[in-house]
Amino acid sequence: MVLGCVTAARAQYVTSSATASETEEAAASVTLPCRPYSPLGQPGIFNQLEVGGVIGTTGLGVEVAAPITKWAKVRAGFDWVPPVNIPMTFMIHAYQHGGVTDGNFDRIKELMSEFGFDIDERVKVDAKPNIATFKFLVDVYPIPNNPHWRVTAGFYAGSRKVAKARNNIDEAPSLVFLGYYNKLYEFFTSSAYLDEPIYGDIYIDPEVGDQLKEKFESLGRLGVHMGDFKDGTPYIMEPGRDAQVKASAYVNAVRPYLGLGYMGAMSSDKRWQVSVDAGMQFWGGTPDIISHEGVNMSKDLVDIPGKVGRYIRNMKSLKVYPTVAVKFSYTFF
**What residue ranges of the chain have pLDDT lower than 70?**
1-44
| DSSP per position, 68-96 | EETTEEEEEEEEE-----EEEEEEEEEEE
Task: Give residue-wise pLDDT tens across range 10-56.
Answer: 444 444 444 555 545 544 444 444 444 334 344 467 888 999 999 99
b/e burial code for range 235-245 (CB count within 10 A of at least 16 → b):
bbbbbeeebbb
> How many other C-beta atoms are found inside a 10 Å radius of the C-beta of residue 65?
21
pLDDT at residue 8 in the model: 40
Structural domains in the chain, CATH included, are 1-37 (no CATH), 42-190+220-331 (2.40.160)
State which amino acid sits at residue 173.
P
The answer to whether the pTM exceeds 0.95 is: no
CB 275 within 8 A of CB 264: yes
The 10s digit of each residue's pLDDT in 209-244 is 999 999 999 999 999 989 999 998 899 999 998 889
> Among 40, 69, 76, 48, which residue's Cα sits nearest to residue 140?
69
3-state secondary structure of 15: coil
- What's 133's DSSP letter? E
What is 165-215 written as a DSSP string? EEE-GGGHHHHHHHHHHHHHHHHHHTTGGGTS-SBTTB---HHHHHHHHHH
Measured between alpha carbons, how far is residue 150 from residues 68, 275, 303, 314 in Å?
A: 14, 10, 43, 30
Choose among 180, 211, 203: nearest CA to 115. 180
> Count of H helices and E strands in the chain?
5, 19
Contact (CB, 8 A) for 260 and 279? yes
Cβ contact 120:90 at 8 Å: no
Q: How far apart are CA 46 and CA 25, in angstroms?
A: 37
Q: Are 279 and 152 in contact (CB under 8 A)?
A: yes
Q: What is the Cα gyration radius of the chain?
A: 34
Beta strand 122-129 pairing with 234-237: unpaired
Residue 21 pLDDT:
53
Q: How many CB atoms lie within 10 A of CB 214?
A: 12
